[in-house]
Amino acid sequence: MTIKRLSLILIGVLCVVAGALLWLLRTPSSTFDGANADQPPVSAELIRRGEYVARLSDCVACHSTPDSAPFSGGLAMATPVGKIYTTNITPDPETGIGNYSLADFDRAVRHGVARDGHRLYPAMPFPSYQKLTDEDVAALYAFMMHDVKPVSRQNRASEIPWPLNMRWPLAVWSAAFSRGGPQQPVANQDAVWNRGAYLVEGPGHCGSCHTPRGLAFNEKALDASSPDYLAGALLDGWYAPSLRNDANTGISRWSEADVVEFLKNGRNQHAVVFGSMADAFNNSTQFMRDDDLRAIAHYLKSLPPGSNNSGKGWQYQHDDAPATPGSQTYMARCSSCHGPDGRGQAPWIPPLAGATSMQVDTASSINVLLNGSARVVADGVPDAYRMPPYRKQLTDQEAADVLNFIRSSWGNQGEKTDAQAVGELRAKTDPASSNVIILQMR
C-alpha cells in the first residue's frame, strides 16, 4: 500500500471522527424549539401541576441546602473524581435560569445541556428525566418561572481537577448512556403499572441510587427490561437496597400496602427511611397522591428478583448464642429500643431482625450506627423516635463487634465487617449529614 493511499485513508478516518464529534457536540433539539405559539398559556392550574412534578422529581432536595433559599443551589455532591455543587435554578436572570426559554429548560432537564451549551454532569439525573412527558416539562417550567422566588446566588465551581473537569466528553457519555425519549406505555401492562413505571423510571429517578453503576459511572439499566435495574447499589457511603422482589435483599416480604405506607409515612412494619431516602421522603414521596403511590407499589411489586439477588428468604430464628463483646454491647445499648429479640417496635422503631440493611453491603449499617438516622418529618411534624449517633461512644472495634452480632443473629445473613471498614467510613462521613430537614418550596 502506497504512502498516498495510507494518507487518504487516514484523512478519511479523521474526517469521520471529526464529523462524529461535531454531531455529538451539537446542541440537541427540543420539542419546544420554535413552538412559542403552541406553548400552553400559564395558568394557576398549570403552575400547580408543575409544583407537583417538582415534588415527584425531588428538585428541591438537590438544588437547596438547609441554610439557603429553595432551589438556589450550593449542595455539595461527592463523585469519585471530586465534589460538584448543584446550581441555582431559581428564575434569577443573572445567577439562575431566568433567561431560559422553555426549549432551553427542556434541553437542560431532558438532555443535560445548559443554555450556554455546556454539558451537565450526570449527577443531574437527565437520563431518567428524559422520560418526562412534554406536558410535565412545560408545567415544571411554568412553576419554576412563575412561582419560585428569584434568588441571586452565584454558582460554585466544581472541585474536579483538570483535565477531568472538561465537559465535552460528557456529550459522548450522554450518547452512550442516555438514549431514549418520553416514556411510552407498555402495551401488555395496565394503566396503573404504566403510571408506576413512569413515576419510578422518570421523575422519581429511583434508579439513580438503587441501580448499580458501570465503569463509566453510568446506571447499568434505565428500565425494568434489565435485571440490573433497581437491583441495589452503593452510593456515597450508603447502600441503596434492591427495590425488586429479591428473596433476601429486596422487598419480597413487603406487600403493595407496605410500599405505600413506607412512601407516605416514612416507615412501615419492616423499616424506617434513613440516609438519602429520608431526604426523598421529607421532600418528595409524602407529597405524592395516593393513587400515584399505589401505582409505584404496583409497579415495584411486579419486578422479579434482580441481578444482585442472593441468599435464601429470611425467616426469624431464635438464637441462644454465647455471650460475645458484640452481644453484650447490643444488650447494653440497643436492646431497649430494638428489643433483645431484634424485632423492634414497629412502625416507630424498626426491627433489626430481617432488616434489608443487615443482609446487604455493610456501609449503611456502619453509617447509621456511627452517625444516627436522619430526622423524619411527616406532615410537618418531626419524629420522636430517632436512632442516636454512637460515633463517640463506640470504638471502631466495638462498632464492628456489635454489627457482626446483629448481622448474624435472628436469621440475618449479612457479611461481616471489621474495625478497618468502620474507621474508613468514620473518616468519610459527618454526623451533621444525618440532620435532614424538610424544605418548603414556596
| Annotated binding-site positions for heme c | 59, 62-63, 206, 209-210, 334, 337-338
Cα–chain center distance at 246:
19
Q: Cell numbers for 342, please give them.
A: 431484634
- Non-local (6+) Cβ contacts of 13 within 8 A are none
Instruction: Please tell me the distance from the alpha carbon of residue 262 to that of residue 197, in angstroms, as a whole number.
Output: 18
Give the chain's length: 442
* 229 in Cβ contact with 243 (< 8 Å): no
Q: Which amino acid is at 338?
A: H
Which residues are annotated as part of the binding site? 59, 62-63, 206, 209-210, 334, 337-338
Bridge partners (DSSP) listed for residue 234: 239
Residue with cell 433483645: 340
* 151 in Cβ contact with 71 (< 8 Å): yes
* 121 in Cβ contact with 79 (< 8 Å): yes
Q: Cell numbers for 116, please give them.
A: 450556554
Instruction: Please tell me the distance from the alpha carbon of residue 90 to that of residue 121, in angstroms, as a whole number.
Output: 19
Q: Cell numbers for 41, please give them.
A: 398559556
